[in-house]
Amino acid sequence: MKDPKKSIVIEAVSSTVDAGRYPVKREVGDLFEVQADIFKEGHDHLLAFLKFRRWNADTWQETPMRFVDNDRWAGAFRVAENSRYVFTIEAVTDVFRSWLADFDKRVAAGQDVRSELLEGAQHLRAAAGRASGGVRQGLEGYAARFAGAEQAAAVAAAREPALAALMDGTLDRTDATWAREFDVVVDRERARFAAWYEFFPRSGQTPGKHATFRDAEFQLRRAAAMGFDVVYLPPIHPIGRAHRKGRNNALVAQPGEPGSPWAIGGPEGGHAAVHPDLGTIDDFDRFVETARALGLEVALDFAIQCSPDHPYVREHPEWFFHRPDGTIKYAENPPKKYQDIYPVNFYGDDPEPLWKEMRRIVDFWIAHGVRAFRVDNPHTKPVRFWEWLIREIQNEHPEVVFLAEAFTRPKMMKVLAKSGFSQSYTYFTWRNEKRELAEYLTEITTPPVSDYFRGNLWPNTPDILHETLQLGGRPAFKMRLVLAATLSSLYGIYSGYELCENVPREPGSEEYLDSEKYEIKARDWQAPGNLVDFITRVNAIRRAHPACRPVVRQDHAGARRRRVRGGELRRDPHARVGRRRADRAVRAAGRRDVRDARAAVRPDVGVARTARLREARPGRGPGADLPSEASMTGKPGSAGRRVSATGPGGNPRRATGSLGRAERGGVWGAMSGPPI
């Protein structure tokens, strides 16, 4: 029988994720609040202590917990460092106060308490044996008063605060009960608050010419001027030549076409190399330093997949899937085929070398100044791998941020966040009606989901041009930007958004026509109708207002409340907006355009009206005209533009309209079918 005297029950500990299976997330400087049900048999008085330490520290720190109500206790500690913390709860019977409570009842009832005073004296002498110096002498003096003084004087001595203080300092914790240990990942602020800007560094200012890292410094200056915090680059590695895809995802590339950056690896190297047309690794280092000088961080795409020309194919054929004839399988998502990409096999006989190689790749780019990684399709790799990799990396580099690009089933998206991803893409792109936006954002920004999931809202990506932007034009671009920037403390856009690029490859598609994934683009960033000034103002408002960086906390009564991060406003060249001016800007920014967008993309328009919008699809430019309200048919409040909650094959990424109301299984939506 193990520790039969340790009978205190500690349960229902919060804040935890899945009862402690995964760490909870917080940010540096947060007051981390913990509650638990703590009780035991009988009527003894208890004491509880919240104990905490950094994961690699040997010594516990502690703070007392306080009784709330109904056996619920609460305590808090400040998470001061960017690290992983461990916390637990220690509970112990307060022998002296338990005796004193019973003693007071007997005194109040007029009973003879001589025997109880002798019992109390025993407790004092036992405590004196654990003490030294003046504390020991004080306790021995009180014990003598209990035994030799008049009963009234002894009763008065037992109730003296000085005695209680002496007993608190000599508390016997030999039989204390400890809860299990729980983890808290404490991230830097950039994991919670950031505006991301994605661009292809190979696309420069000269049509048809492959840009270099030095050329791309122009894009850094643009991103910084617009007030972004992070610039995210699609893969910058050599691109395979075998089965290279051409313009608009053509099966065969024409001479000179650059191919998809996600077909990683060629004769020049693999994941630890840079495309020679971009420059050298020294050029990349200069690019990162230039970004840092502008107040930007560089995030890289981490895509675990290979072109047929990747060195891994020759050196580690066991890391890939093979057909019965021995050939390596390329990626497929039937009916789509990706002949230029080989998926990596994490299920071989010995996956450990592959895991370690992936860690080596991440470590390599960390050594070159990268502190943020956008991970491509993490839901197609084992969750255990991500849990291991992220923990290994953050144990040494706690400042590193991982963004999960997983548009898949809700439970998989959630468990990836639990396994360690700092941020996650969301279903925001497919949430367009007021009710579904409110339901979805409420779910992901309140506990228990917000204890581990940080949603990064993107109105567009190189893969996703939603129908709302296709049909709504410039007003819809402004409306969706404001929603993304204010509904979450994390948001991002893909370059071209500021030019309102909205022409799909074909009707009903979410792919861009002339997608930058397969060609080099040169844009006129000053084109009439651009949103550069608007985006700059929105980002300045976000930085100036702590209310744009909400965090959810728990008070001692167990109720949840919303706070804003305290402290001084961030001051930098992009945040020179006073509060009053920013308040006016928030109210005024795009008000007319938002009204226009509501008229153009109504959530309740009829099927005929949607069809008319499709016929009058807006042009490619930022100032594209929309059909007038009078020219539209259909009645508001009719059948509406309802579509499947998923789209072909149960894929939420292919949904082309509203995802409707809350479906069974929660407001994440009844997503089903295979992941993309």
Which residues are catalytically annotated? Answer: 376, 405
Count, residues in the chain: 676
Whether 139 contacts 124, CB under 8 Å: yes
Residue 287, Cβ density class (10 Å: 0-12 exposed, 13-18 middle, ≥19 buried): buried
Q: According to the 3-state scheme, what is the secondary structure of 468-494? A: HHHHHHHHHHHHHHHHHHHHCCEEEEE
What gap in Å lies between CA 496 and CA 463, rounded to an integer? 13
Q: Which residues contact 3 (CB under 8 A, 6 or more apart)?
A: 175
- Mark residue 104 as left, alpha or beta (left: phi above 0; alpha: psi -120 to 50; beta: remaining): alpha
Q: Write the Ramachandran bin of 488: left for phi over 0, alpha for psi from -120 to 50, otherwise beta.
A: beta
Gap between the Cα atoms of 405 and 399, Å rounded: 19
Spatial contact of 426 and 483, defined as CB atoms under 8 Å apart: no
SS3 207: coil
* Residues forming beta bridges with residue 493, ordered by sequence position: 197
Distance of CA 175 to the CA centre of its chain: 40
Calpha distance 289→281 (Å, rounded): 12
The DSSP code sequence of 96-131 is: HHHHHHHHHHHHHTT---HHHHHHHHHHHHHHHHT-
Token pair listed for 387: 């849990």
Contact (CB, 8 A) for 359 and 392: yes
Question: What is the DSSP-derived secondary structure letter of residue 643?
Answer: -
Please give the distance of CA 643 from its chain centroid, rounded to a whole number: 29
With 0-12 / 13-18 / 19 or more C-beta atoms within 10 angstroms meaning exposed / middle / buried, residue 474 is: buried
Alpha helices in 382-429 (DSSP H): 383-396, 410-418
- Output DSSP code: residue 437: H
Separation of alpha carbons 501 and 473, rounded Å: 8
3-state percent breakdown (helix, strand, coil) of the chain, nearest 5:
35, 20, 45
Nearest to 51 by CA among 67, 84, 75: 75
Strands (E), 253-304: 297-302
Nearest partner of 474 among 435, 529, 422, 522, judged by Cα: 529
Q: Any idea what the Cα angle at residue 406 is, between residues 16 and 85, rounded to 5°? A: 30
Q: Do residues 235 and 301 lie in contact, with contact meaning Cβ atoms separated by under 8 Å? A: yes
Beta bridge partners of 197: 231, 493
DSSP state, residue 134: H
Residue 152 per-residue DSSP state: H
- Stated as kind and residue range, the H or E segment containing 362 is helix 352-366
Cα separations (Å) of 667 from 390, 427, 639, 670? 28, 10, 21, 8
**Nearest Cα residue to 341 out of 373, 375, 376:** 376
Tokens 């997608």 locate to: 515
DSSP 409-422: -HHHHHHHHHTT-S
